């Protein structure tokens, strides 16, 4: 049921993104329609729609960011935090991208593989370094049969139905790069975890909508702008509902920073305003 609130100094929209709205994702980024999301069910873009009805401009709406989760019917999140800890391979068992690339580059690379299939491969050194919550989720998915572990690369390849020789070659080359980074590749940028001792781990990845970087157009004070670029009197917005902050990629840690920094700015603006 709608509730009506009388706002004396103005209104701040802080309703987050629209990753949980299939309709909005379909409208603005149809290539990602029907993908699952790790967003809260409240990320339905309500504030966005309300502001648009007042003539607000939007920007970057196609900038929908995805992350790789475990392909599973269970809603258990496992995300290996550091790209230094695993490799992606396609269904030929071959590495096809540097795992530390920007999120949009990774997603494009994954989607361009045969049938869009991608597998996450790691080994015991990564598993032993996981935080307790991630490890717990990983083992739940292992028991459920969505994540796999095997004593050797060959056995893991057989379980995942990947060509064993290709997978072994991908891992060997990656380990060589980890020890001797050379002139290209992610191990130049970060110390890579060796995949050199069993058990070896793997799962098929699935893309999930993680962050909708587009949203309301705002200025540096968080004022919501109309289509002519003028502030709509009394209307501010901060955080995930806005689209003027991140561009195509919201780099790790910047989502909360955006919400806190712009939240403070618009709070100060609105409390000082006299409409």
Ligand X SMILES: Cc1cc2nc3c(=O)[nH]c(=O)nc-3n(C[C@H](O)[C@H](O)[C@H](O)COP(=O)(O)OP(=O)(O)OC[C@H]3O[C@@H](n4cnc5c(N)ncnc54)[C@H](O)[C@@H]3O)c2cc1C
Closest contact distance (angstroms) between CB of 268 and ligand X is 17
CA dihedral 220, 226, 230, 235 (to 10 degrees): -60
Q: How far is CA 259 from the centre of its chain?
A: 17
- Select the span of 39-47, 83-91, 116-124, 189-197 touching ligand X (CB under 6 A): 39-47
- Binding test (CB under 6 A) with ligand X, winner from 12, 13, 16, 97: 16
Q: Tell me: does residue 2 bind ligand X (CB under 6 A).
A: no
Q: What is the spatial distance between Cα 17 and Cα 191, in angstroms, rounded to a whole number?
A: 34
Planar angle of CA 28, 34, 39, nearest 5 degrees: 80
Query: Binders of ligand X among 167-226, rule CB under 6 A?
Result: 210-211
Closest contact distance (angstroms) between CB of 55 and ligand X is 19
- Which two structure tokens, joined as six digits, stand for 213? 């970087």
Helix axes 153-160, 164-179, angle to 10 degrees: 130
- Binding test (CB under 6 A) with ligand X, winner from 22, 46, 101, 196: 46
- Say how many residues touch ligand X, by CB under 6 A: 20
- Select the span of 42-50, 98-106, 143-151, 197-205 touching ligand X (CB under 6 A): 42-50
- Select the span of 35-43, 107-115, 133-141, 161-169 touching ligand X (CB under 6 A): 35-43
> Between 192 and 266, whose beta carbon lies closer to ligand X?
266
Binding mask 255-274 for ligand X (x = CB under 6 A): xxx-x---------------
What is the three-state SS of 49-111? HHHHHCCECEECCCCEEEEEEECCCCCCCCCCCCHHHCEEECCCCCECCCCCCCHHHHHHHHH
**What stretch of H or E contains 47?**
helix 46-53
Mode of pairing for the β-strands spanning 231-237 and 11-13: parallel
- Binding test (CB under 6 A) with ligand X, winner from 12, 13, 14, 192: 14
Which residues make up the interface to ligand X (CB under 6 A)? 14-16, 38-40, 42-44, 46, 210-211, 239-240, 253-257, 259
């Amino acid at each position: 049921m709608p509730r009506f609130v009388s706002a004396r100094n103005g209104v701040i929209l802080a309703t987050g993104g629209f990753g949980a709205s299939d309709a909005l994702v379909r409208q603005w980024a149809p290539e990602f329609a029907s993908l699952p999301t790790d967003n809260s069910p409240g990320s339905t873009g309500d504030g966005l729609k309300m502001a648009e009805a007042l003539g607000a401009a939007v920007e970057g709406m196609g900038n929908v960011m995805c992350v790789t989760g475990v392909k599973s019917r269970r809603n258990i999140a496992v995300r290996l935090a550091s790209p230094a800890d695993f490799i992606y391979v396609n269904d030929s068992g071959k590495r096809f991208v540097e795992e530390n690339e920007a999120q949009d580059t990774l997603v494009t690379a994954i989607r361009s593989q045969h049938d869009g299939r991608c597998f996450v491969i790691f080994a015991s050194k990564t598993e032993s370094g996981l935080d307790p919550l991630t490890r717990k989720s990983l083992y739940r998915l292992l028991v459920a049969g969505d994540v796999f572990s095997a004593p050797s690369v060959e056995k893991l390849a057989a379980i995942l139905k990947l060509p064993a020789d290709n997978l072994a070659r991908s891992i060997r080359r990656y380990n060589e790069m980890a020890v001797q980074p050379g002139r290209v590749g992610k191990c130049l940028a970060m110390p890579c975890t060796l995949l050199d001792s069993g058990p070896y781990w793997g799962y098929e990845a699935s893309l999930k909508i993680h962050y909708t970087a587009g949203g309301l157009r705002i200025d540096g004070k968080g004022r919501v702008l109309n289509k002519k670029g003028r502030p709509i009197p009394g209307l501010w917005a901060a955080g995930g509902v806005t689209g003027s902050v991140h561009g195509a990629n919201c780099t790790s840690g910047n989502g909360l920073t955006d919400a806190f920094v712009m939240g403070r700015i618009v709070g100060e603006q609105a409390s000082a305003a006299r409409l």
